[in-house]
Amino acid sequence: MKIKSKNYALVLIIFMFLFSAIPTNSNQKHYSGIAINLEGTHNGADYIIRVPENWNDVLIVYAHGYTQPSSAEAAPGGVAMEEFLLSQGYALAGSRYQTDGWAVKEGLQDTTSLTTLFNGKVGKPDKVILWGFSMGSVIAFESAEKHSGIYDGIIAACAVGAGTVRTWDSAYTLALAYDVTFGWPAAWGSAENVRDDIVFNTEVAPVLFGQVTDLSNFGFFEFMRLVSGIPFGEFYSGPSNFLFTDMFFLTEARGELESRAGGPIVENVGHSYTLTDADKGYLAAFGIDPEPLLDTMNARTDVVAPKNARNYVKQYAEYTGNIKVPVLTIHTIGDGLVVVNQENAYRATVEAAGKESLLVQVYTDAIGHCAFDPFQLLSSIRAMEYWLDTGIAPDSSFFSELLGFLNDFEPAEMPF
């Protein structure tokens, strides 16, 4: 995950000063002991537990995303965010998970196990907040439905709100568009069934770099981006470089997940690939006629995954929306990896289960995946604490537009 700050330590010092005068809504029951720093391995997963001397009896458990940290981390952004949260009285815990990759199964096990371990080594907190980022949001959403006895509140950031199946099916659009535009190299497997052991940096990135640096291909890449519903910001450059990031997930990351699942995972039966008239006019300016490309894509809407592989991704995880505890989601509007439309899909799932009173969704005016600053993250924690203390869902007053929140934003529906 990315913390968006040029001088992270300085920002946290300023933020520490500003928030030190703001009382929390916790019961202010302080831990009567010395600061605790524990690192170890529990059930095969490295972990870290940190407790300040002035513990406020709130534990924040961190579920990290797909990119595996070199060691266990107790907060997004690493040590700087850990130190700030500790200064505010929060206890922290985080697991590295037993395995790398799409480790939702292991992440669910390791995060709940770590929370139980905390209870035994430190003591049972008054409140436990689980916050999950990117892939960690899948762990968070599943926990909101299945582990209400362990967690009191959930914060899901840059969240995979549509669930694993729909997310990967939607992502396949970019792979199919690449195939009909440039041709999927046989050495990569196929667009539908990528080679399990493919290595992005040595096999995919050099090919992609050669194609994208040829300016005559710009219109074709824009076709790929538009038909996939990916925003323009940082698609070709910048910290996110979403073209390369997305293709990493469509090749190496998907191959890793397919090896877990026991086969290819994506389907597109019933999909209809379209562009708006405005998009078609825009592409025409680059000499691209999108109609033949769309026709070819729509002629290939017969992709079906083996049942065993499909069942695996459904298990890890699809949501019922039957959440048992308060859930707060936070998403940048310019996310080119997990598009903000996923939040619309999650709300629809929760509303269908009749649990919308337990869901609050907020958005930030930023480009990037998990590109939040410390102000926004701490605002989310404060809002969740208020919700747990009062039983009243936080309103827009907790999410100031001066901090980059967009209180009137509503994401569009996902196309598939």
Q: Strand (E) positions, 246-400?
A: 327-334, 359-367
Q: To 5 degrees, how large is the angle CA 361–CA 363–CA 364? A: 155
Dist CA 152 CA 211 (whole Å): 49
Q: Where exactly does CATH 3.40.50.1820 map onto the chain?
A: 8-161+321-403
Question: If we measure between CA atoms, which residue out of 200, 325, 323 comes closest to residue 255?
Answer: 200
Supply 256's token pair.
């890793």
Residue 295 has phi, psi (to 5 degrees) of -60, -40
Supply 333's token pair.
């509007």
Helical ranges in 249-340 per DSSP H: 254-261, 277-284, 290-298, 307-315
Q: Quote helix, strand, coil % in the chain, to nearest 5.
A: 45, 15, 40
> What's the Cα-to-Cα distance from 220 to each of 277, 293, 339, rounded to whole Å?
17, 10, 21
Write the pLDDT tens digit of every residue in 364-402.
999 999 999 988 999 999 999 999 999 999 999 999 999
Dist CA 413 CA 416 (whole Å): 9
Dist CA 334 CA 342 (whole Å): 12
Dist CA 221 CA 228 (whole Å): 11
Write the pLDDT tens digit of every residue in 405-415.
999 999 999 98
CATH number 3.40.50.1820 given to 8-161+321-403: yes
For the entire predicted model, the pTM comes to: 0.92
- Residue 30: the pLDDT is 44
Write the pLDDT tens digit of every residue in 88-147.
999 999 999 999 999 999 999 999 999 999 999 999 999 999 999 999 999 999 999 999
With contact defined as beta carbons under 8 Å apart, do 255 and 195 qualify?
A: yes
